[in-house]
């Protein structure tokens, strides 16, 4: 539907008619309403008699030039009123959060201590199921994915394309990034990636691992300090069995992984404004993602946008064309 930004300007269309119907005046200065000196007032005679008869009832038709002038003037008034077309309002949601999943894919994630529908699952399979469901629920958030083992890799930068993130999630396999666990490097890479995103306030990292930080060059204190500086929340999820004294001795003697380091994961979450969760089965992992979903709720306040197309240039173009036509007629009439 065509609307006008300044419809009140339409009243200017009648201005030429008003000027045409105003009575002319005559005096010492000719046919003009010019009152420069008081003594000229006495000499002014209004030629009001027979105005309507002479102006409206006259059989003389407007000349083509006058008609073109009126059309040009009318088109300029229409352009000044700014005609535009407004589409249907479209609902949009407020900007959500930037959430970066940082997932451990070391070989220890192949341990089958999880289950689903009475079927044994590896830790990694359980993570794929629950993380995929979490991604589906974050409809208005941007998601990203970092995978790590001995090294950390940014597999999916922060994006609205959640299908791409899920595709990468399902294609990953344990051991693809090495056998050890470089949590510090993974957090460092995640923090450097998310801190430069356009979302200034709502940035969240979810770290999931079943081991301890036993590789890499970026220390956990460095990661924590960077998270605090950039005001980025970090939620940590520990899966599998916690480490014990026997595992620690084996690790020291034979360089074997020690298992889950809950104390470190809790410290990271506490220092970075998040929360630590422990998952020992698939149901627990689902509850954890649901809990994070509650802690980081989506915004459901809707905004509306409306497509606007302005058409003021069309009457302007018409006025220009008619002006050229009028100029042609004037030159031909000489």
Residues 153, 184, single domain; the answer is: yes
Alpha-carbon span 44 to 35, nearest angstrom: 9
Tokens at 17, concatenated: 């008619």
For residues 15-42, give the mean pLDDT: 56
Q: What are the pLDDT digits (tens) for 210-221?
A: 878 887 788 889
Residues 80, 104, single domain; the answer is: no
Residues 193, 225, single domain; the answer is: yes
Residues 132, 150, single domain; the answer is: yes
For 102, the enclosing helix (H) or strand (E) is strand 98-104
How deeply is 201 buried, as exposed, middle or buried, from its count of CB atoms within 10 A (0-12, 13-18, 19+)? Answer: exposed
- State which residues form the domain around 35: 2-88+306-333
Q: What are the pLDDT digits (tens) for 138-195?
A: 877 889 999 999 899 999 999 889 999 999 999 998 888 888 888 999 999 999 989 8
Query: What is the structure's pLDDT at 189?
Result: 92
Alpha-carbon span 33 to 112, nearest angstrom: 102
Alpha-carbon span 150 to 176, nearest angstrom: 9
Q: Model pTM?
A: 0.58
Residues 112, 257, single domain; the answer is: yes
How deeply is 120 buried, as exposed, middle or buried, from its count of CB atoms within 10 A (0-12, 13-18, 19+)? Answer: exposed
Residues 104, 223, single domain; the answer is: yes
pLDDT at 101 over 80: yes
Alpha-carbon span 170 to 130, nearest angstrom: 11
Tokens at 170, concatenated: 């399902």
Q: Are 235 and 274 in contact (CB under 8 A)?
A: yes
**Tally of structural domains, the chain:** 2
Residues 151, 16, single domain; the answer is: no
Strands 98-104 and 142-148: what pairing? parallel
Cβ neighbours around 303 below 10 Å, total: 11
Residues 68, 46, single domain; the answer is: yes
Alpha-carbon span 14 to 22, nearest angstrom: 12
Residues 203, 55, single domain; the answer is: no
Beta bridge partners of 234: 205
Residues 61, 119, single domain; the answer is: no
Residues 108, 256, single domain; the answer is: yes
DSSP 272-327: TT--EEEESSHHHHHHHHHHHHHHSPPP--EEEE--EEE-THHHHHHHHHHHHHHH
Of 44 and 62, more confident: 62
Alpha-carbon span 161 to 130, nearest angstrom: 18
Q: What are the pLDDT digits (tens) for 234-288?
A: 999 998 755 444 444 444 444 444 467 888 899 999 999 999 998 877 888 888 8
pLDDT at 11 over 70: yes
- Residue 260 is classified by DSSP as B
Beta bridge partners of 277: 237
CA 298 from centre of chain: 15
Query: What is the structure's pLDDT at 164?
Result: 92
SS3 333: helix
Q: Are 147 and 180 in contact (CB under 8 A)?
A: no
Q: Which CATH number do you get for residue 188?
A: 3.40.50.410
For residues 52-73, give the mean pLDDT: 65
SS3 119: strand
For residues 75-91, give the mean pLDDT: 84
Residues 70, 116, single domain; the answer is: no
């Amino acid at each position: 539907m065509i609307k006008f930004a300044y419809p009140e300007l339409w009243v200017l269309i009648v201005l030429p008619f008003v000027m045409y119907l105003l009575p002319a005046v005559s005096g010492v200065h000719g046919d003009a309403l010019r009152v420069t000196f008081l003594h000229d007032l006495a000499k002014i005679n209004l030629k009001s008699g027979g105005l309507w008869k002479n102006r409206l009832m006259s059989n003389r038709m407007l000349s083509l030039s006058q008609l073109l002038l009126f059309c040009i003037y009318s088109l300029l008034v229409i352009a000044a009123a700014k005609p535009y077309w407004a589409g249907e309002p479209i609902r949009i949601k407020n900007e959500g959060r930037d959430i970066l999943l940082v997932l451990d894919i070391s070989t220890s994630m192949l341990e089958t201590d999880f289950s689903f529908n009475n079927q044994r699952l590896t830790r990694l399979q359980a993570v794929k199921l629950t993380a995929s469901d979490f991604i589906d629920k974050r409809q208005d958030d941007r998601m990203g994915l970092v995978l790590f083992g001995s090294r950390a890799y940014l597999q999916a930068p922060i994006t609205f394309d959640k299908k791409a993130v899920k595709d990468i999630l399902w294609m990953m396999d344990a051991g693809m990034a090495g056998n050890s666990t470089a949590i510090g490097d993974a957090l460092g890479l995640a923090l450097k990636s998310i801190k430069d995103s356009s979302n200034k306030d709502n940035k969240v990292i979810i770290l999931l691992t079943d081991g301890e930080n036993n590789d890499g060059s970026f220390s956990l204190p460095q990661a924590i300090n960077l998270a605090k500086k950039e005001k980025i929340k970090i939620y940590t999820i520990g899966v599998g069995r916690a480490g014990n004294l026997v595992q620690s001795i084996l690790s020291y003697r034979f360089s074997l992984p020690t298992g889950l380091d809950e104390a470190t994961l809790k410290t990271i979450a506490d220092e970075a404004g998040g929360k630590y969760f422990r998952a020992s089965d698939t149901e627990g992992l689902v509850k954890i993602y649901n809990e994070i979903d509650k802690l980081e709720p989506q915004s459901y306040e809707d905004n509306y946008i409306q497509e606007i197309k302005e058409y003021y240039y069309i009457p302007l173009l018409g006025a220009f064309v008619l002006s050229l036509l009028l100029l042609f007629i004037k030159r031909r009439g000489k």
